[in-house]
Structure 1
């Protein structure tokens, strides 16, 4: 967040794409944004109000990003993995081409590589490093929407 000026009537705030997405995530998941922040000259309260207004404006498609597949990566066997991939293909054919964040091969592979190189906090290294059908399914599901 870049705050370039603060006055009695408000503040000039510039947000990165990630910060805008975080605000949207808060609004969607918590069904609210914090509006009771306090600070000198009520600056933080004004910022919170602006964030709330911004979060509400996120329904504008120019602000939204795509989604990941709706298919849950719950494969533990080779057959379950195959069924998962069939479901992902069906999801893509139904609406994923228009709705997925990574709806081209290049973007999908970029998301796959990015997620493969990421480690999940709080998850045991053996789970993240050991090849399994569950990990393969998780990688594919993440690749459809990972930025």
Structure 2
């Protein structure tokens, strides 16, 4: 799917988030001896990127869903807003864990850190792909039709 002017910034943010998930996967695969610099860089980027993505979803995706004639999408928007709180809390935990691993002061075992990272990036990937599917459903196709 090619970004359009309306959804382009959100889709670019999603791509950055997917790229960061790839880095998190590489870090998880390298445990118990990951690159400390990569851990710090990733920890520094994670929370701001998740926050930016949420802001863009509020500005771009949620109005698309709200404009639909389908009232059940209000429940979808409410669920996504609740998920944002959970995503931000987990992004903070992942960032803290990465910093602790980088400084060799993690109270968690490498297996526990790996599980935390994998749980987060699996969830983020699912989230992003689900949102991209929603965008695709609600933007006009080549013939100008939408799911509305």
Determine which structure has the larger helix proportion and give its number.
2
- Scaled by the length of structure 2, the TM-score of the pair is 0.28
Larger Rg: 1
Determine which structure has the larger strand proportion and give its number.
1
Q: Which structure is higher in RCO with an 8 Å CA cutoff and minimum separation 6?
A: 2
